[in-house]
A and B are shown apart, each in its own frame.
Chain A
Amino acid sequence: MSVRPRSVILPICAAALVAGVAWAAFAPLTTPSHDHVFEIPKGTWARRMAGNKVEILPNRIHLTLGLRDILVLRNRDDVPQTFGPMLIMPGQTFRLPFERSAEYNFACTAHASGQMIIVVDPNPDTPWAKVRWRALELLHLRG
């Protein structure tokens, strides 16, 4: 009696997929850091002066309460930089924590819209929300 490999592997994979989704839905979410870091690299000012367009901050940033809820802006350039709505000195870091889920609007001259929007999503505490959060992380779709 011979067992065809396909008839064995498919059920195993299906079971593994179900187990994976179940785990993604129910296992606690953790992140090694709550920081979402944006950095102005050294030489940014020089590149701008040379006429290059340098975009660092998107005009919409997503954070997640309890997981990644600290916005970190770091200036590694040699001159002060207006980063979003904040003036940040060379070598300086600005860390802004969020404790409430909401949409925050900041005036920002660096964006054509004149605004930088920070969306702080609620902590994903339902199974579906956990799966969705993990999927977005996996696919790098979170801003």
Chain B
Amino acid sequence: MRIAIALLSFVIAAAHAAGTATPTSATTRAPTPAAGAATPHAQTLKAGVFDPPRLAPDFALQGTDGADLKMSRHRGKVVLLAFGYSSCQAVCPTTLATFAEARRRLGAAAAANVQVIYVTVDPDRDDPAHLKSYLANFDSTFLGGTGTPDQLAKVRTAYGITAEKVPAGDSYSYSHSSFTYLIDRAGKIRALMPYGHNPQDYVHDLTILLGE
């Protein structure tokens, strides 16, 4: 009899579990639809969405165009903000090539309203002139930013960016955050695109943000 009851309990429990995920101690699964739900429009982005979005912290760095690089100067455009360094062998070239291809696919009119900003984590090697020539390999409209180590560290803190110097023989590299922020025309950090997304995903999200 006990075996029979145990078998029946398993079947009933399995049936119950099938349609409804239950909470665990570490996670809260299957929240009510209202709990923390982002707006339906925001859900359509391929990138991860912040809800509510916060204003992108402003900064003043040395820009590769000879002027101060300020986030607030680019209100009215959609900004792709990434952090890296020109000697990066893996992440940065891929990310910047992806941005360039996404802008190309958007077409000139739309791309004119998209600004790529690339802030270095390696001020010792990335002076404005070097950064400018590096970025021009991808797209001459890309803007780079550099500054003192202290200035750049403050910007990284404000944006939750990590960058750790890693010795490599006589030289060094950096382990750094590889994601990209998508900042809307109002200057708000709307979304974060993890490394590895393809140009079409950027085109998808930029089209939505440009259409707002």
Task: Pick the residue among A88, A91, A92, A137 that contacts B21 (CB under 8 A).
Answer: A137
**Interface of chain A residues 88 through 140 with chain B (CB within 8 A):** 88-89, 91-97, 99, 104, 106-107, 109, 134-135, 137-138, 140
- Contact flag A95-B28 (CB < 8 Å), given A13-B7, A134-B14, A137-B17: no
Q: Does A43 contact B (CB under 8 A)?
A: no
Nearest-neighbour CB distance to chain A for B35, whole angstroms, equals 8
B38 near A95: Cβ-Cβ < 8 Å: yes
Determine which of A9, A33, A94, A140 lies in contact with B31 in the assembled complex, contact meaning CB atoms within 8 Å: A33
With A32-B30, A68-B29, A95-B43 known as contacts, the answer to whether A134 contacts B54 (CB < 8 A) is no
Are A94 and B29 within 8 A (Cβ)? Answer: no
Supposing A6-B1, A96-B194 touch, asked if A37 and B14 sit within 8 A by C-beta, the answer is: no
Q: Is B72 an interface residue (CB 8 A)?
A: no
B8 within 8 A of A: yes
Chain B 95-128, CB-CB to A under 8 Å as 1, else 0, gives 0000000000000000000000000000000000
Partner of B160, one of A10, A38, A56, A86: A86
- CB pair B160–A87 under 8 Å, yes or no, is yes
- Is B8 touching A74 in the complex (CB atoms < 8 A)? no
A19 CA / B7 CA spacing, docked (Å): 12
B40-79 interface bits toward A, Cβ cutoff 8 Å, 1 = contact, 0 = none:
0011001111111010000000000000000000000000
| B84–chain A nearest beta-carbon distance, Å | 13
Query: Does chain A have a CB within 8 A of B90?
Result: no
Question: Which residues 51-108 of A sit at the B interface, judged by CB distance below 8 A?
Answer: 56, 58, 68, 71-72, 74, 80, 82, 85-89, 91-97, 99, 104, 106-107
Query: In the complex, A135 Cα to B13 Cα: how many Å?
Result: 10
Q: With a CB–CB cut-off of 8 A, which chain A residues contact B14?
A: 20, 24, 134-135, 138
Is A97 a contact of B8 with CB atoms below 8 Å? no
Output the nearest chain A residue to B159 by Cβ-Cβ distance.
Answer: A87
Residue among A10, A16, A23, A85 making CB contact with B177, cutoff 8 Å: A85
Report whether B49 and A35 are in contact in the complex, using a CB–CB cutoff of 8 Å.
no
Q: A2-24 toward B: CB 8 Å interface, digit per residue (1/0)?
A: 00011001101110110110011
Q: Is B168 an interface residue (CB 8 A)?
A: no
Q: How far is the CA of A99 from the CA of B194 in the complex (A)?
A: 12
B19 and A30 contact, CB distance less than 8 A: yes
| CB <8 Å contact, B18 and A92 | no
Point out the residues of chain A lying under 8 angstroms from B8, CB to CB: 13, 16
> A46 in the interface, Cβ–Cβ < 8 Å?
no
Residues of A within 8 A of B42 (CB): 95
Contact (Cβ within 8 A) A16 B29: no
A-B CB contact pairs (8 Å), 16 listed: A13-B3, A13-B8, A16-B8, A17-B10, A29-B18, A30-B18, A32-B20, A72-B36, A85-B177, A95-B48, A95-B51, A97-B46, A107-B178, A134-B14, A134-B17, A135-B14
